[in-house]
Amino acid sequence: MINTSSSFVPVDRELSAWIRLAFESAYPEAGSVLARISTVPTMSPEFGDYQCNDAMNLARALKIKPRVIAERLIAVAGPHPGVARMEIAGPGFVNVFLEDSWISDRLAAMAGAGGLGLPSDGAGKTVIVDYSSPNVAKPMHIGHIRSTVIGNSLYRIHSALGYRTVSDNHIGDWGTQFGIIIMGYRHFLDQKALETSPIEELERVYVKSYEKSREDADWLNECRRELVKLQSGDEQNVALWKDFVALSLREFEGIYRRLGVSFDIVRGESYYRDKLAGVVRQLEEKELARESEGAMVVFMEEDKLPPCIVRKSDGGYNYASSDLATVASRVDEFGPDRIIYVTDERQQLHFRQIFAISRKLGCSVSLEHVWFGLMRLPEGTFSTREGNVIKLERLLDEAESRALAIVTASSPDMPEERRREVARVVGIGAIKYADLSQNPQTTVTFTWEKALALDGNSGPYLQYAYARIASVRDKFAERFPGIDPDGFPIVFTQQIERTLALKLLKFPEAVTRAAQACKPSTVADYLYDLAQSYSTFYQNVPFLKAEDGVRESRVRLCGITAKVLKSGLDLLGIETQERI
RNA sequence: GCGCCCGUGGCUCAAUUGGAUAGAGCACCUGACUUCGGAUCAGGAUGUUGCAGGUUCGAGUCCUGCCGGGCGCGCCA
């Protein structure tokens, strides 16, 4: 068999291509619908391993009975080395039963292929992922975790599929809040507090100044004046602002380090401030924007969107103009094929407007808004002013200390340094997994219990499965020194081995589907399903005491499972350890 | 009022985008061998997929109307 790494094609694609060919020769008149023909995994082994449902879909267009189409299809299909037999069932399902030897052969090829057989769908393409984007002078809280973790995973997934990826942390460093902060800083600052916990202190003076601005019109005017001074380059205010930004970035950096997140570029809104006037001028020249009540506004009736203000009546620029400038700048500099924004749901309308206006300005890049539901507390929404914000730092601390308690209980002999390291990996993994394993587009009610789950469908469950495999590998090496299981064929003596092998082969499917839908949860679901199959295998089938050949085959399956788990968790930004 | 989204066992969530008998976890109950890690495994119970219509071979998924909830809708980001 020729199984060089470059020749590996994901199983679903290979079978889809093969069955599509059969359809094309059987019904060339079907035309464009042929392109969409595919095979999908079955829900139950009684229906085979993969199934094709397109005989029924074509039946309407061709005005032929679906079972007739299915029969013709099977008659016309050329032999495929992987297909043992096909059956027609129900209204016209075509069920495909795979050959055991082909499954093990493909699995060996996948394990040997670079990137575990992930297709290079993104080769030659560039995607920018804009995520996390916290605001200066405010601490990161649990509301920031979703953008950070989901965005980082999308970045990793697209990189793994061959995209040139650029991650950008679009920091909120240029808004109207700075007038308020500067006034708060000048009048309410506690120097000592600033030294011990700078961001907390900046936030405190911000809140105080904000409250005052709501009841004191003079104060509000002062704030506005300070903002104008900052934006027109006043030396003192610019120096203050730079301090705020530097302090915040340092604090963010600490969180990112703990989360294993890094960015290719970190450009706040301020980076684009010189381009704002140009964008608005362009909109005016193209007659896309016009003055209304003193402001410059893009009216978008034909897009069925409400008007979008791109310059305020006081002449200042806002979020809309800033994001428009950002798009243009990114297009110029990176020439991306796609730009993905990961933010919460409240910005849906804003981005629809930005995307529509960008298109009017001639931008043809695929602009995508990946939004997620807000994080809430059981008692309702949280806000700085309510004082019920849970800081991200505290969440991470809590996760690690809970994990440490469990590690200490289960592995009392482990040196403390190791225990702390394991607790870090497990605790952070639990938090990330909790957010990544579910559909982002739902409102999440935060509970400690859920965020820090360590059993069942959780990050640690996957990490635990991985660690047990590492243990198997070590025991095998100890008792059978010098034997390389990879030199033995993979054989199926029990159903669970075949099931596990088939699941392993679906890794590329899960990853490509996750990229298509921009949903890391697809990968998380897949990994959990895989780990469950592995646990069943592990618990019910002996490895080391199995007979020669079977033993090596099983250990080899373990090894491949470990590879897939590790790679998959890596796509989620979750670390693994050989011992936990 | 208009727009976007959500509603699935007691709780938290899946369901490969219209496919076959709606799957997991938590919690609850029962069990796991002189074998590799019990953060595990095997088994049990739990459902009119918010309600009512419609589309078709086939609907949790699509269309219409209600009910309930979240978010947004010209000078915040």
pLDDT one-digit tens code per residue, A508-519 = 999 999 999 999
Q: Is there a single domain that holds both residue A258 and residue A193?
A: yes
Question: Among A345, A376, A407, where does a domain finish?
Answer: A376
Q: A229 and A200: one domain? A: yes
The Cα A303–Cα A482 span in angstroms is 68
Both A173 and A55 in one domain: the answer is no
pLDDT digits (tens, 9 = 90+) for A148-205: 999 999 999 999 999 999 999 999 999 888 999 999 999 999 999 999 989 999 999 9
Chain A window 324-353, residues with Cβ within 7 A of nucleic strand B: 345-350
Give the contacts of A474 (CB within 8 A, at least 6 positions apart). Answer: none
Checking if the pLDDT of A3 tops 50, the result is: no
In a domain, A170, yes or no: yes
Cβ of residue A381 lies below 7 Å from strand B: yes
> A11 with A150, same domain?
no
**The domain containing residue A17 runs over which residues?**
5-98
- Which nucleotide comes closest to A430 if you measure CA to C1'? B39
- Whether residue A12 is contained in a domain is answered as yes
Same structural domain for residues A216 and A359?
A: yes
> How is residue A162 annotated by DSSP?
T
CATH number at residue A28: 3.30.1360.70
Same-domain status, A187 and A262: yes
What pLDDT is recorded for position A253? 96
Cβ of A53 less than 7 A from strand B? yes
Q: Is A570 exposed, middle or buried (0-12, 13-18, 19+ CB in 10 A)?
A: middle
**Residue A1 CB coordination number (10 Å):** 10
Residue A119 maps to a domain: no
pLDDT at A412: 86
Asked whether strand B has any atom less than 7 Å from the CB of A428, the reply is: no
Residue A279: inside a domain, yes or no? Answer: no
Positions 167-206 of A with beta carbon below 7 A from strand B are 172, 174-177
- Amino acid whose CA is nearest the C1' of B70: A443
The pLDDT tens digits for A31-75 are 878 888 999 999 999 999 999 999 999 998 888 999 999 999 999
In this structure, is the CB of residue A524 within 7 Å of any atom belonging to strand B? no
| A41 CB inside 7 Å of strand B | yes
- Higher per-residue confidence, A411 vs A279: A279
Nucleotide nearest to A554 (CA to C1'): B36
Distant-in-sequence, close-in-space partners of A303: CB < 8 Å, separation ≥ 6: A352, A356
In this prediction, residue A31 carries a pLDDT of 80
Looking at the fold, whether A71 and A132 belong to one and the same domain comes out as no
| Minimum CA–C1' distance nucleotide for A380 | B70
- In the complex, which nucleotide's C1' lies nearest to the CA atom of residue A173? B77
Q: Same domain for A199 and A327?
A: yes
Nearest residue for B71, CA–C1': A346
Q: Label residue A2 by pLDDT band (50, 70, 90).
A: very low
State the nucleotide closest to A457 in CA–C1' terms: B25
Q: CA angle, A384 as apex, A382 and A388 as ends, to 5°?
A: 50
CA to C1' distance (Å), from A377 to B11: 16
Q: Which among A342, A376, A410 is the end of a domain?
A: A376
- pLDDT above 80 (res A465): yes
ipTM value > 0.90: yes
CA of A437 to C1' of B50 (A): 25
pLDDT score of A387: 67
Query: Is residue A103 situated within a structural domain?
Result: no
Q: What is the CATH number of the domain that holds A237?
A: 3.40.50.620
Cβ contact A213 with chain B strand, < 7 A? no
Taking the CA of residue A535 and the C1' sugar atom of nucleotide B65, their distance in angstroms comes to: 48
Whether the predicted pLDDT of A1 surpasses 50: no
What ranges in A389-506 are assigned the alpha helix state H? 392-410, 416-436, 448-451, 459-479, 495-505
Please report where in the chains the tokens 């820090």 appear, as a residue.
A452
What is the share, in percent, of chain A residues with pLDDT greater than 90? 79
pLDDT for A539 equals: 93
Q: A283 lies in a domain?
A: no
Q: Are residues A257 and A148 located together in one domain of the fold?
A: yes
| Burial class of residue A234 in the structure, from the number of CB atoms within 10 Å of its CB (0-12 exposed, 13-18 middle, 19+ buried) | middle
CA of A55 to C1' of B20 (A): 15
Residue A96 has pLDDT above 50, yes or no: yes
Q: Is the pLDDT of residue A30 over 90?
A: no
pLDDT at A554: 96
**Locus of tokens 């200390």:** A401
CB atoms within 10 A of CB A578: 12
- Number of domains within chain A: 3
> Strand B: which nucleotides have any atom within 7 A of a protein Cβ?
3-6, 12-17, 19-21, 24-27, 32-33, 35-42, 56-58, 70-77
Q: Return the nearest residue to B22, CA–C1'.
A: A43
- A424 with A361, same domain: the answer is no
Q: Please compute the mean of the pLDDT values over residues A488-500 and round it to a whole number.
A: 95
Determine the pLDDT at residue A87.
95
Clarify whether residues A21 and A164 are in a common domain: no
Read off the pLDDT band of A453 (50, 70, 90).
confident
Coil, strand or helix at A341 = strand
A563 touches strand B (CB under 7 A): no
Residues 280-319 of A with CB under 7 A from strand B: 292-295, 297, 306-307, 309, 312-314, 316, 318-319
Mean pLDDT, to the nearest integer, of A446-465? 88
- Give the model's pLDDT for residue A384: 64
**Higher-confidence residue: A447 or A420?**
A420
pLDDT tens-digit profile of A194-239? 999 899 999 999 989 988 988 898 999 999 899 989 988 999 999 9
* Per-residue pLDDT tens over the stretch A357-409: 999 999 999 999 999 988 877 777 776 666 678 889 999 999 999 999 989 98
Instruction: State which residue has its Cα closest to the C1' atom of B19.
Output: A53
Is residue A241 within 8 A of residue A226, CB to CB? The reply is no
Instruction: Answer yes or no: is A492 within a domain.
Output: yes
Does some domain include residue A346? yes
pLDDT exceeds cutoff 50 at A5? no
Say whether the CB atom of A322 is under 7 angstroms from strand B: yes
Say what the pLDDT of residue A61 is: 82
How large is the average pLDDT for residues A115-129?
95
Residue A217 shares a structural domain with residue A84 = no
Q: What is the per-residue pLDDT for A62?
A: 87
Query: Among A98, A118, A134, where does a domain finish?
Result: A98
